[in-house]
Amino acid sequence: MSGFYADKFSEDVGSFFRSPVREIFKKVDLNAIYSFAGGYPSAETFPMEEIRRTMSEVIDKYGSKAFQYGATQGVPELREEVAKRCGVTVDRVQITSSSQQGIDVCTRVLVNPGDVILTSSPSYLGALQSFRSYRADIRGVKHNPDLEAFKQSYEAVIEQVKTEGKQIKFLYMIPDFQNPSGESLTLEERKMLVGLAQKHDFLIVEDSPYRELRYEGEHIPTMYSLDPDRVIHLGSFSKIFAPGFRLGWAIAHPEILDKIYVCKQSLDLCPPIFDQYVAAEFLASGRLDENLLKSIELYKGKRDLLLGLLEEHMPEGVTWTHPEGGLFLFLTMPEGFDAVKFYDKALDAGVAYVAGEFFHPDGSGKNTMRMNFSFMSPQKITEGVKLLATLL
Ligand SMILES: Cc1ncc(COP(=O)(O)O)c(C=O)c1O
């Protein structure tokens, strides 16, 4: 049959990009190695007993309605809870089948093939996959701690795009504990970027699934709060509850949400109803917040452990970020190091990470790698870092 299907697929299929992270998962059993790859939350944070209790409460309360189709925007109970939590009105809340769908649906309603999406370099791989699948032209900008220089880097890319006669549709940002770098944007940086969006008239997609996982420092206002009519804010239950529910939310101007609403009708008709009622009950009863406090304590301990181990064991010339929250930190090795080439050696020895170049839209960052600290036990983190450091 080889070749038979070659002319059967859409042109979009040619732009699909296989996630190297998921390829790793196919090859190895994560529990059998030291895995700093992936972004899995710790299964310890899933409140199994409370979930069991809440599920049966939902069945008692809603009966068969919990298993029927429901509104495309999401069930009113969950939309109201999310609106309260985010301090917005319900007409600005769309429940999504996770924030990955939020990213995809935003791209689908806003981007034509060839349109430009600005983002950070590095950026979230799942977003880059989605952007590529719609044949967007992705331009990444590296962070610069000097605010004026950072702004100039963006201005230069924007000017370049204009001279090419192309349109920037949106800026995609993960301002809180970014995946993969673990770093956050300061308030001044957020204001600067919102200012650029206003000046050059493009939208911003603010993707913030890690926002509530803060281990130190003060909360920084969302980009959405700086310009609620220009920013689409995406949230997720995956890291604050459990990813298996596949639930998230999009907050935006009702005119944008209306397009997302129609688009979602063709995608999945409605987000999973039973899961939404469970999430709504979890939020309303305060169980989600109680559990979140436990997750924060657990992850803070793991982050501190990893930072201490890197300090103690990493060879000279290796540097890393110091995230105030989230699930990742980012390592930079000396110039000339190739994290993709090194990967097979590391995996053979039993330790996995994700090579940083996959997160860079232009394929740079060869000497970088992402490390996750949420998934493994403290003992495995300790043994894994020692092994990786020895190999390096
Ligand atoms: C920045 C970012 N956005 C979105 C997602 C997707 O999360 P979910 O679809 O589970 O909400 C992830 C997952 O790791 C992520 O890191």
**Mean pLDDT to the nearest integer, 9-34:** 81
Q: Which residues contact 303 (CB under 8 A, 6 or more apart)?
A: 215, 323, 329, 373
Residue 5: inside a domain = no
Q: What CATH number corresponds to the domain at position 293?
A: 3.90.1150.10
Domain boundary among 242, 266, 285: 285
Write the residue with the smallest CA distance to atom 5 of ligand 1.
Answer: 100
CA dihedral 259, 263, 269, 271 (to 10 degrees): -70
- pLDDT, greater one: 239 or 11: 239
266 in the same domain as 349? no
Task: Tell whether 52 is covered by a domain.
Answer: no
Q: Whole-angstrom Cα distance, residue 138 to residue 115? A: 8
Same domain? For 293 and 281 the reply is: no
Using the predicted structure, report yes or no on whether residue 30 has a pLDDT greater than 80: no
Span from the CA of 248 to the centroid of ligand 1 (angstroms): 9
pLDDT in tens, 35-66: 999 889 999 999 999 999 999 999 999 999 99
The pLDDT of residue 307 is: 98
Share of the chain above pLDDT 90, in %: 92
CB-based contacts of 349-353 (< 8 A; 24+ apart in sequence): 349/387, 349/391, 350/33, 350/34, 350/387, 351/33, 351/34, 351/35, 351/36, 351/384, 351/387, 351/388, 351/391, 352/24, 352/28, 352/30, 352/33, 352/34, 352/35, 352/36, 352/37, 353/36, 353/37, 353/388
Rounded to whole angstroms, the Cα distance separating 36 from 372 reads: 5
Classify residue 58: in a domain, yes or no.
Answer: no
Check whether residue 213 and residue 227 sit in a common domain.
yes
How far, in Å, is the centroid of ligand 1 from the Cα of 99? 6
Question: Does the residue 6 lie in any domain?
Answer: no
Quote the pLDDT of residue 231.
98
Mutate to test the pocket of ligand 1, among 40, 95, 124 (most ligand atoms within 8 A of CB): 124
Tell me the mean pLDDT in the region 3-8: 89
Q: Is 138 inside any structural domain?
A: yes
CA–centroid distance, residue 109 to ligand 1 (Å): 19
CA of 125 from ligand 1 middle (Å) equals 9
Distance 209 CA to ligand 1 centre (A): 6
Expressed in angstroms and rounded, the spacing between residue 176 Cα and the centre of ligand 1 is 12
Which of 21, 99, 103, 174 for mutating ligand 1's site (highest number of atoms within 8 Å of CB)?
99
Q: What tens digit of pLDDT does each residue of 236-285 get?
A: 999 999 999 999 999 999 999 999 999 999 999 999 999 999 999 999 99
Residue-wise pLDDT for 366-392, tens only, equals 999 999 999 999 999 999 999 999 999
Distance, CA 210 to ligand 1 centroid (Å)?
Answer: 9
- Two tokens at 119? 């983002």
Atom 13 (ligand 1): residue with closest C-alpha?
39
Directed axis angle between helix 125-133 and helix 99-110, to 10°? 30
Q: Is residue 41 part of a domain?
A: yes
Who lines ligand 1 at CB under 6 A? 39, 98-100, 124, 126, 174, 179, 207, 209, 236, 238, 243, 248
Mean of per-residue pLDDT scores for the chain: 96
Asked, for residue 255, whether it belongs to a domain, the answer is: yes
Residues 268 and 141 in one domain: yes
Q: State which of 238, 268, 373 you would mutate to test the pocket of ligand 1, scoring each by most atoms of that ligand within 8 A of its C-beta.
A: 238
Average pLDDT over residues 294-314: 98
- 3 CA to centre of ligand 1 in angstroms: 35
Shared domain check, 261 and 154: yes
Give, using CA atoms, the residue closest to atom 10 of ligand 1. Answer: 238
Average pLDDT rounded to a whole number, residues 92-111: 98
Does the pLDDT of residue 24 top 80, yes or no? no
- Mean pLDDT over 63-83 rounds to 98
CATH number of the domain bearing residue 279: 3.40.640.10
191/158 same-domain check: yes
CA–centroid distance, residue 106 to ligand 1 (Å): 14
Do 175 and 301 lie in one domain? The reply is no
Structure tokens at 18: 């296989």
pLDDT-derived band at 1, boundaries 50, 70, 90: low
**What is the spatial distance between Cα 301 and Cα 280, in angstroms, rounded to a whole number?**
29
> pLDDT band at residue 6, thresholds of 50, 70 and 90?
confident
Task: Tell me how far apart the alpha carbons of residues 32 and 243 are, in angstroms, rounded to a whole number.
Answer: 22
Ligand 1 atom having least distance to the Cα of 178? 1
Is 80 exceeded by the pLDDT of residue 21? no
For the ranges 31-40, 86-95, 129-138, 198-207, the lowest mean pLDDT is seen at 31-40
Q: Are residues 255 and 106 in the same domain?
A: yes
Report how many domains make up the chain: 2
Minimum CA distance residue for ligand 1 atom 16: 179
Q: Is residue 252 included in any domain, yes or no?
A: yes
Domain check: are 185 and 220 in the same one?
Answer: yes
268 with 299, same domain? no
Compute the distance from residue 144 Cα to the ligand 1 centre, in Å. Answer: 24
pLDDT higher than threshold 80 for residue 333: yes
Whole-number Å distance, alpha carbon 64 to ligand 1 midpoint, is 31
Residues 157 and 187 in one domain: yes
Residues 38 and 166 in one domain: no
Of the pLDDT bands very low, low, confident and very high (cuts 50, 70, 90), residue 335 is: very high
Task: Supply the DSSP symbol for 198.
Answer: H
- What atom of ligand 1 comes closest to residue 237's alpha carbon? 11
Question: What sign has the CA pseudo-torsion 103, 285, 48, 274?
Answer: negative
Final residue before a domain boundary, out of 253, 285, 317: 285
Range of the domain at 306: 11-47+289-391
Query: What pLDDT score was predicted for residue 29?
Result: 79
pTM, two decimals, is 0.96
User: According to the model, what pLDDT value does residue 60 have?
Assistant: 98
Query: How high is the pLDDT of residue 240?
Result: 96
Domain edge (last residue) among 285, 300, 315: 285
Atom of ligand 1 at shortest range from CA of 243: 10
Among 236, 241, 375, say which to mutate for ligand 1: greatest number of ligand atoms within 8 Å of CB.
Answer: 236
